[in-house]
């Protein structure tokens, strides 16, 4: 098969993985080096955007889309009729180096269908990373998908070359996984995440004995969960995320709205999950991680789902009107973070700015706060929010409507 055709098949097969992050690894560059190429400087770069609005930072491909598993939600499951292809190790290396030299990518995100055994597959994936690092002096970013319950020695080797490792939990509930992917082992996935956390933590610690622990995935680990393929509610999903962040120190949980795939199985929902649901989950995830919210504070309906029409912070604020309006010149950081329209950065700048003068509405505008969104909730020197009920807060903004496409 032509390399171009393989690339077409194996990129197409990789597009359901949402992660494209290339940030947060250790810093390195190619200055003063004899050979090799590449640098990482902390902040990842999105080199292109596809018409689905997703960034393209890494060359995201599968080594092969052949798979011995039969996970129903997956386009590459063994009972699917999609065309199969395999890259050789050298082909992946050539494409990665070629695209990198042309400044198309930050690096490689390599995953694979399971062929023969988990250990065999893991070895193949590691071979690519080893060749890039050791034979070609590649100093760009490498994200490897790890295979649950592969040999711990293989995990250690993957972590030596990779900047980030990930294992997808795939479905929010054990029942969902048993139903749709019976060959995947929920407990095994979590055990592997536990192993990775121990190694990532050890790699970061400065050893008091002077002997450094081996390099292990400096940009940490992440995971992905498919939304809307099983019956899990938003609350179930966010409880799962809370557990995963706390237990395994994940950098990110990626939410992927179930999307129709070619040659789909009849067991799956016939319609795609609304993208706006995925969007709300990301917003809620941010509230959990950066805004001091707990999953059980977010407002949900009886079934445990968040409203789609308004964002989760606005929904929370509407249920806690008694806490508003807040005086931006006096409120604490924790309180300000709960004002609809205020982000972490703007709150921190606001707190710095109010040390010098009482803030007025035009100050908020200079802080680039969305005034229309913020005004109903705050008091400034020259403004006092009137009753919330007079405002049509429940109306979704045009931008959110667009997500419903």
Partner 1 sequence: MRSVVLAHEVDWGGWRDAARTLALSNVPPDEVVWSVRAPSDLFAEQAEDMPMPKPSGVFTVSRALVSLAETVIQAREPERFALLYRLIWRAHAGDKHLLEQVTDPEVNRANRFAQAVRRDTHKMRAFVRFREVVEQGVTRYVAWFEPSHFIVEANAAFFVRRFATMTWSILTPYRSAHWNGVETSFGPGASPADVPDDDKLAEYWRTYFSSIFNPARLKISAMTSEMPRKYWRNLPEAAAIPDLIRTAQARVDAMVNTPVISAPKPTNRFAQTVTELPSSGLARAAVEVAECRRCHLWEPATQTVFGEGPPDAQIMMIGEQPGDKEDLAGRPFVGPAGQLLDRAMAEAGIDRTQVYMTNAVKHFKFEPRGKRRIHAKPDTAEIMACKFWLEIERAELAPKITLMLGATAARAVLGRAVTISRERSKPIPLNGSTGFVTVHPSYLLRLPDEEAKAREYVAFVADLRAAAALLDTV
Binding to partner 1 in span 47-106, by CB under 8 A: 47-56, 59-61, 68, 70-72, 77, 79, 81, 95, 98-99, 101-104
Which residues in 174-193 contact partner 1 (CB under 8 A)?
A: 179-183, 187, 190-191, 193
Q: DSSP 3-state assignment of 165?
A: strand
- Rounded to a whole number of angstroms, the minimum distance from the CB of residue 395 to partner 1 is 19
Judged by beta carbon, residue 297 or residue 388, the one nearer partner 1 is 297
Interface residue with partner 1 among 349, 383, 385, 400 (CB under 8 A) is: 349
Interhelix angle 3-12/89-101, nearest 10 degrees: 90
Interface residue with partner 1 among 132, 261, 337, 347 (CB under 8 A) is: 261
Q: Of the listed pieces 304-312, 313-321, 356-364, 380-388, which binds partner 1 according to CB under 8 A?
A: 356-364
136 touches partner 1 (CB under 8 A):
no
38 touches partner 1 (CB under 8 A):
yes
- Cβ(114)–Cβ(147) below 8 Å: yes
Judged by beta carbon, residue 52 or residue 322, the one nearer partner 1 is 52
Please work out the total of residues on this chain that contact partner 1, with binding judged by CB under 8 A: 99
237 touches partner 1 (CB under 8 A):
no
The conformation of residue 388, written as its DSSP 8-state character, comes to G
Interface residue with partner 1 among 276, 359, 375, 378 (CB under 8 A) is: 359
Which residues in 288-327 contact partner 1 (CB under 8 A)?
A: 289
The H-or-E segment that residue 126 falls in is helix 118-130
- Cβ(152)–Cβ(198) below 8 Å: no
29 touches partner 1 (CB under 8 A):
yes
211 touches partner 1 (CB under 8 A):
no
Judged by beta carbon, residue 34 or residue 389, the one nearer partner 1 is 34
- Cβ(106)–Cβ(58) below 8 Å: yes
- DSSP per-residue codes, 53-111: S-EE-EEEEESB---S---TT-TT-TT--PPP-B--HHHHHHHHHHHHHTT--SEEEEE
Q: DSSP 3-state assignment of 170?
A: strand
CA distance 53 to 49: 6
- Rounded to a whole number of angstroms, the minimum distance from the CB of residue 82 to partner 1 is 12
**CA nearest neighbour of 308 among 347, 343, 281:** 281
């Amino acid at each position: 098969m032509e390399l171009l055709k393989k690339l077409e098949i194996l990129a197409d097969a990789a597009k359901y993985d949402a992660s494209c992050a290339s940030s947060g690894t250790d810093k390195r560059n190619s200055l003063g080096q004899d050979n090799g190429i590449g640098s990482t400087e902390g902040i990842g770069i999105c080199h292109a955007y596809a018409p689905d609005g997703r960034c393209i930072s890494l060359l995201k491909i599968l080594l092969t889309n052949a798979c011995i598993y039969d996970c129903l939600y997956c386009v590459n499951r063994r009972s699917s009729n999609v065309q199969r292809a395999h890259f050789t190790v050298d082909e992946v290396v050539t494409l990665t180096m070629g695209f990198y030299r042309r400044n198309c990518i930050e690096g490689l995100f390599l995953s694979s269908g399971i062929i023969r055994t988990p250990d065999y597959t893991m070895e193949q994936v590691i071979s690519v990373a080893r060749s890039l690092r050791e034979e070609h002096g590649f100093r760009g970013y490498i994200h490897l998908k790890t295979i649950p319950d592969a040999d711990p020695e293989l995990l250690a080797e993957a972590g030596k070359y990779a900047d980030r490792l990930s294992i997808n939990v795939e479905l929010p509930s054990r029942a969902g996984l048993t139903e749709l992917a019976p060959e995947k082992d929920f407990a095994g996935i979590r055990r592997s995440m536990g192993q990775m956390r121990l190694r990532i933590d050890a790699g970061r610690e400065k050893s008091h004995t002077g002997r450094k622990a081996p390099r292990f995935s400096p940009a940490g680990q992440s995971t992905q969960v498919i939304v809307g393929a099983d019956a899990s509610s938003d609350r179930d999903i966010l409880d799962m995320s809370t557990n995963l962040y706390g237990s395994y120190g994940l950098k990110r949980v990626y939410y992927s709205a179930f999307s129709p795939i070619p040659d789909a199985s009849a067991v799956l929902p016939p319609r795609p999950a609304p993208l706006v649901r995925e969007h709300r989950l990301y917003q809620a995830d941010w509230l959990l991680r950066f805004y001091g919210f707990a999953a059980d504070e977010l407002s949900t309906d009886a079934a445990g789902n968040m409203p789609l029409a308004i964002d989760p912070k606005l929904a929370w604020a509407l249920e806690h009107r008694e806490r508003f309006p807040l005086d931006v010149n006096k409120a604490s950081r924790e309180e300000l973070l709960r004002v609809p329209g205020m982000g972490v950065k703007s709150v921190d700048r606001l707190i710095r700015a109010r040390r010098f003068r009482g803030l007025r509405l035009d100050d908020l505008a200079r802080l680039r706060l969305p005034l229309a969104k913020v005004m109903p909730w705050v008091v400034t020197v020259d403004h006092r929010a009137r009753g919330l009920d007079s405002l049509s807060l429940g109306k979704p903004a045009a931008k959110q409507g667009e997500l419903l496409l």
